[in-house]
Structure 1
Amino acid sequence: MTKRDRLLSQLGITQWVLRSPMTLQGELSVLIPDSTHLLIISYDQIDLSHSLFADIFTAMGIDASSVYCITTKDVELLSESIHCPCWLLGVDITLPIQGISLRSPALNDLSLDGNAKRALWQQIYHYEEYFSINSR
Structure 2
Amino acid sequence: MTTSRRDWQLEQMGIRQYQLRRPAALQGEVAMVLPVNLKVILLAELLPPLSSPLMQDILRAMFLSVEQVYCLTPEQAMMVPEDTRCVFWLMGLEQFPDLPAVLAELPVLSTPTLPELAANPEAKRTLWQQICRDEYHFLPQAG
TM range, normalised to the smaller chain?
0.7 to 0.9
Question: Is residue 23–residue 29 contact of structure 1 (8 Å, CA) maintained in 2?
Answer: no
Task: State the identity as a percent.
Answer: 31
Q: Which residue of 2 aligns with 1:83?
A: 85
- Matched residue of 2:86: which SS? coil
Matched residue SS, 2:141: helix
CA distance in 2, matches of 1:20, 1:31: 22
Match of 1:120 in 2: 127
- 1:127 match: secondary structure: helix
| Shift in CA distance, 21/81, structure 1 to aligned 2, threshold 3 Å | farther
Aligned mate of 1:93, from 72, 92, 95: 95
TM-score in terms of structure 1 length: 0.75
The structural deviation recorded for 1:18 is 6.2
Whether the aligned pair in 1 keeps the contact of 2:29 and 2:79 (CA below 8 Å) is: no
Q: What is the alpha-carbon distance in structure 1 between the residues aligned to residue 46 and residue 65 of structure 2?
A: 21
Output the TM-score relative to the length of structure 2. Answer: 0.72
Cα distance in 2, alignment partners of residues 46 and 22 from structure 1? 20
Task: Give the direction of change, closer, same or farther, for the CA distance of 1:40–1:58 in structure 2 (3 Å limit).
Answer: same
Gaps of 5+ in 1: 1-16
Aligned to 1:19: 21
For these two proteins, the number of residue pairs brought into alignment is 119
Q: Quick one: distance in 2 between partners of 1:73 and 1:92?
A: 14
Shift of 1:94: 2.1
How much does 1:75 deviate? 1.3
Where does structure 2 lack aligned partners over 5 or more consecutive residues? 1-18
Distance, in Å, in 2 between the alignment partners of 1:80 and 1:56 is: 27
Q: What RMSD, in angstroms, separates the aligned Cα atoms of the two structures?
A: 2.4
Aligned to 1:9: none
SS of the counterpart of 2:43? strand
